[in-house]
Structure 1
């Protein structure tokens, strides 16, 4: 296949994606409305809409109200044409689990489930995904959230040794022919939390978690974007040089007599580096009254004028799943965006 044919196909794919995203955003639209939103010609939109209509991706709905003459056809994207899997892997207090949600293109959950297993390894994850794809053949993307640092689709630091240094993202993508994202749990939690707030301007926020049975971690949004760092190690606050070993850190965080002082040192470090608008504390080790105690401890290091709003994130799992669904849906559009940029 020559370069001209390749370029023609890429342009067609990108135009199709523009029409898809416009319809998903507008819910219902005429050809003229789609053309205006995408800056494509009416003729191009007409051709693409007819193709998507034949494929079942687009539905014709009630006609637009007419001011006289022939009413314009209305189109709606079929949100159930494709599904995604959002799989959350957790380890807490010795228990390991995988929680999944099947969502449509509007982010609406159509099915969900929970499985505990004493060995969460690539084989177990693959079995769950394979079963769900057989049940829902329209699945086009899989998002996996994990407790650990992820770089180029590989987990390099994790509380689950069986997942460390395994090319899980590439394995799932190649075997099941779907888009795949593998992302750190705290990045997804802060992403979900951030977008639920509906900020008018880009902000810097952080979510810090203190979980029973684990060392602490953090997720950060800097100026409206997930901050991952050079090797995707950002947020691994268990590695802060606090002057004690990780074993001692673990013990002190699980002791109510020493929890607040040590937690505040980690939080204060984030404040000094990020200067965030908001820090949300979460995790099973954090009680509602702890937020103010930790804030007072932070004031020993940070001037009051630079202190962020500090809140308790009571339902982090909801933000986590929200963030994972959103990022997985975005991956369907990102694949064409990367082609457009020549990456």
Structure 2
């Protein structure tokens, strides 16, 4: 009986399909291909660049043509998933994606790859960039970032996550990016549990630089910043238009007194130092799972040895990578290496 029932279901399904005159899978495919070109291009623009270049554009002739449309490349997401030997190939692919935008790029996100040469290629080719995000881009230097920022007068959002830049680019931002309204600076969290008065200006150099050079900011995220109350005071004084301020894992500031009250009165959306970091993509504290980094002091005020062990292990890792030459600049892109050009291939006959 079960077999007969199954057969009846199959025949009914076939009758429904035949009555419509189109197989369901064929109908679904046809609907995709009948989408307006600009809608398909908008969908593709949300994919990672490597996915488009390695897979999407080879599905059919129609998609191949759409993938060469500059509209697809107004936003570029490019990252390395951890394969160091892929950096040169990904660098080349990123340049190719930028070239396909034909100067229309407005939003670019680069993670775990890139160097000064790549950043120069981006900013030389596309001066309309409004959002720039660099995450763990250890081979981009201060000089490279400064040169790039100077070419982006329309920049509105700048996100530098876990990158080893000094405060010098902040001055460049203030001088060349009058439209900047959102700034995100993420670093590994630690507490300055003893602040030498002679060192306090240095510790707060970044916060003071923001207050001095970028007074028109509306949104500021300073995750894991070592600044003290001096730096926070400077930001509140120097950036009167701030609407949102994220101070999570800024463990050296004390918001118990008048300064905390001022923050609540002046800032519409305020995130406090010990609030959860569960929503963050990158780990900025010493916890194992990348979220909710514990304080470096226990509840009784004693030093948390787990934190010290974690921070030491990070320092050892970075030092070892430096000795191994992992932080050296990668050589500039060279198209003469004989590798595949994503525009130089034969379209299959069945396209």
Q: Which has the larger radius of gyration?
A: 2
Relative contact order higher in (CA < 8 Å, ≥ 6 apart): 1
Q: Same fold (TM over 0.5)?
A: no
> Please, what TM-score do these two structures have when normalized by structure 2?
0.30
More strand by share: 1
